[in-house]
């Protein structure tokens, strides 16, 4: 595997960062997970835009232009012969001192990894997930704002540990007010009487690229969409439920906290949206091999 790191494509074994990099020491940096489909890097420009938003929020100056980052992602896919797969794009604060002060890090580091991924077994896409709500509360918007896609994912990891202990693949995280925020790595959607609902960003939901794509697909299909605050009660009485994320794509949920969702099987609205999403992946994105 070839990894793009600070302007060079190197073998995986030679792709190294300093032990003094603040991304390693403190989780000080930002990242994007990006998918490749059908010889295209899906929604690449949207991902790059979100990366720059996250960097701006933590006063991290990315040492490359958006167009240069786009080229780096595509070149890394080509170097690994990938037409379908997954990209992890990272910008760390760079090498510094053992102190917290980011001013001690003169040069941020940019890394692009291109590989393959399958987040869930195929069975879950056909039959749906069983998930639970966990005690770990989503980060407050005035602390580590969930809108920032930072390298510090400990909040999500703690929730994922609770999901593992419960024997499930995902978990709902609530915010400090008790409203549904998101899952450990995915956005939450429910369908009620043909209408589509997902928590707002203000509740602690990530500004998801796949989330936004599904909302666009829903509007094109004439499905009414809304972003209200949602409680677990709203989830329990939903007709359908699914999760979205770059790695997860769209995966149905059929049971939450022991409550069967709808019929207990992936529903028709979910199926329509999944078909529309897959159609978009065929034509949207930067071409890898001309």
Catalytic residues: 149
Q: Which three-class secondary structure state does DSSP give residue 84?
A: coil
Cα–Cα distance list, 290 to 35, 94, 199, 276, 286 (Å): 18, 34, 39, 25, 10
Least Cα distance to 188 among 215, 168, 165, 167 occurs for 215
Least Cα distance to 62 among 114, 53, 21, 153 occurs for 53
- Asked if 94 contacts 107 with a C-beta cutoff of 8 angstroms, the reply is yes
Helix (H) or strand (E) holding 181: strand 180-183
φ and ψ at residue 137, rounded to 5 degrees: -85, 145
| Cα 239 from Cα 139, distance rounded (Å) | 29
- Give the chain's largest Cα–Cα span: 56
């Amino acid at each position: 595997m070839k990894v793009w790191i600070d302007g060079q494509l190197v073998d995986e074994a030679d792709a190294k960062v300093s032990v003094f990099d603040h991304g390693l020491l403190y989780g000080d940096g930002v990242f994007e997970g990006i998918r490749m489909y059908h010889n295209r890097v899906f929604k690449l420009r949207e991902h790059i835009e979100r990366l720059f938003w996250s960097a701006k929020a933590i006063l991290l100056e990315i040492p490359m232009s958006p167009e240069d980052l786009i080229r780096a992602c595509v070149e890394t896919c080509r170097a690994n012969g990938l037409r379908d797969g997954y990209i992890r794009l990272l910008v760390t604060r760079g090498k510094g001192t053992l102190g917290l002060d980011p001013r001690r890090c003169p040069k941020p580091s940019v890394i692009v990894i291109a590989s393959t991924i399958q987040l869930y077994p195929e069975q879950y896409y056909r039959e749906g997930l069983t998930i639970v709500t966990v005690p770990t509360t989503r980060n407050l918007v005035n602390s580590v704002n969930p809108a920032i896609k930072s390298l510090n994912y400990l909040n999500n990891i703690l929730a994922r540990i609770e999901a593992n202990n419960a024997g499930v693949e995902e978990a709902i995280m609530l915010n400090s007010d008790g409203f549904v925020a998101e899952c450990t790595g995915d956005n939450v959607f429910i369908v009620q009487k043909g209408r589509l609902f997902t928590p707002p960003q203000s509740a602690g939901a990530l500004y998801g690229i796949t989330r936004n794509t599904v909302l666009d697909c829903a509007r094109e299909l004439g499905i009414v969409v809304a972003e209200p605050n949602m409680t677990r009660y709203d989830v329990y009485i939903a007709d359908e439920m699914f999760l979205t994320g770059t790695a997860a794509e769209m995966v149905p949920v059929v049971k939450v906290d022991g409550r069967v969702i709808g019929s207990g099987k992936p529903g028709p609205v979910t199926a329509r949206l999944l078909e529309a999403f897959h159609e978009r992946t065929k034509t949207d994105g930067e071409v890898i091999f001309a």
